[in-house]
Amino acid sequence: MTTLQGREAAFAGRVAADATHEMRNVLAIVKESAGLMEDLLGACVDGAPVDRARMDRALGRIDAQVGRGAELMSHLNRFAHSLERKPERLDLGREIEQAVFLGRRSARKRRILLSAQAGATAPPAEADSFGVQMAIAEAVEWWLARIPEGATVRLRPVDAAGRPAVEMTGETADGVPLPSPGSSPGWDDLQRLLEGLAATAEAAEDPAGLRVALSGRTEP
């Protein structure tokens, strides 16, 4: 049986692998765009004019990818600091944004749109950011494997009977609300994993979906 420490190492490795894959894509697009610009300039022989429209499009792609790369590095740097495993006062909305950003590649592979939304103000919590990130990510991965391709899944912070929690809801590509997952195979395994991360998985009914509640010490 895989230990919690083994699952934590695998999670950290998966985040790093996905981030480096995304960065390679960024660099590939920048290189492609720079190559196009070089070709366009090389075609300007004997005073021929530069194709300004294509140059502007190439410059725009480079600018967009530089911004994408900077955002990726910012999220990855924040994730790296979470490996210090120090309890801190967390903004759950920010933790959700981080988890969604780092989990989008996995969702795209299943043709699922993953997004973060503003929600009700969740109670503050003293918690380990890495553990919270992993709890959210593992619950998302578990649910994504059990819903149809083309679905939309939204995450938002909520107050679950005084506990800070992440609510996950969504619809199929046809607009049918996703069902509560409480009876799905593997539910007990997810519960046990999240318990080791000071969280609990709960099947939500109104609205239907999945809820991850933090069970660590909350601040007054």
155's torsion region: left (phi>0), alpha (psi -120 to 50) or beta?
A: beta
Residues 90 and 132: their CA atoms lie apart, in Å, by 9
Q: Is residue 148 predicted with pLDDT exceeding 50?
A: yes
CB atoms closer than 10 angstroms to residue 21: 10
Q: Which residues are bridge partners to 160 per DSSP?
A: 163
* pLDDT tens-digit series, residues 26-59: 999 999 999 999 988 888 877 788 888 999 999 9
Average pLDDT, the chain: 88
Domains and CATH numbers, the chain: 4-82 (1.10.287), 88-214 (3.30.565.10)
Residue with tokens 């539910």: 187
Residues 216 and 89: their CA atoms lie apart, in Å, by 11
* pLDDT tens-digit series, residues 173-208: 999 988 888 777 889 899 999 999 999 998 888 788
* pLDDT tens-digit series, residues 82-92: 998 888 888 88
Residue with tokens 């995304």: 22
- Give pLDDT, residue 220: 37
For residue 82, give the nearest of 186, 166, 12, 141 by alpha carbon.
Answer: 12
β-strands 113-116, 152-160 pairing: parallel
User: pTM of this prediction?
Assistant: 0.86
